Chain A
């Protein structure tokens, strides 16, 4: 098992006041190596919150998040950053590529935090991935010069650059047209299988969800 959530709760606002809203209530979840799971649910059900908690971008009010046997909630900020950098890959609904950087630079960006400069291995790996997703020719272009689909594929490559154990994808096809959404779904599916990476996808897309090994529904703070 790569990831385990034990009784994780999260709410917004002051618990003592009436405006408090509990989003996640005693959530339990287990993700195994190479497993692909989808989390579906209506808007505002807390899917992104759940993903942010797993991705340590937000902190749970209570409960444990155990990654490969370690409760990462106890990590320091530095450890969390290292964890995100080495173990996780993120793909968001919007690609969030840096407009000032070329596609190539965007892809290599995750190398910087802990290696300061991209080495030969990373470059070869980046080239492999870019060729694989079919955007090698566009590597010197900036996001403003690429299509939405190309940008999102770049975001996938960026998520894979540090060879993570787990990819967290938040509505990865939400901003794409049907064709591009299909392509991206295949890409995520294919690459995670090929590289042995676990995948947690938050999605509305039935098409994408159907490609996953397991589908959870998040409703009223409960994961079913």
Chain B
């Protein structure tokens, strides 16, 4: 069977899986961005309870493996009466895992805002909330976006794991086609290429564009 015949027969199935993969990617990216912002801020709180909660959360999710967390969400939570759909479990596990990594990036970004900005806001008698919202947060984006972009590419790769909790994504379809046709080189090779193309031609250019945008917003693009 030639590769083109393979593509014409199984291409649509793989594309269907790719759509699911992109859905998982988008949903878990949104979730991880929100979680990292919240926990990154909590980590810098002076209140020991809030800070402790964030630290425990981050250490817990960074200390265990994503696959273990994913299986825990999917197979163990039903024991506690909370049954998640496979797709939801996948998105929540990936979002929470990467949120923990992202929170550390956000924390680093906030600490990297020059001291003069903090002092300026203090001198102008801004409330702490207003200082964060109006002065500090807008400036962290050019700092955090390059490491966050790396993390997002890692997230795209991590979405492959949801296939193991029966989400019908690209990896799942590739495995399925492999078990029917035994054309392993074709189906896994195609899957690898699709992941590569998503990352190289869509995700990375989009993230670079965001970086440029963020730099322009704070007037750092001229340097």
Chains A and B are bound partners: no
Residues of B within 8 A of A (CB): none
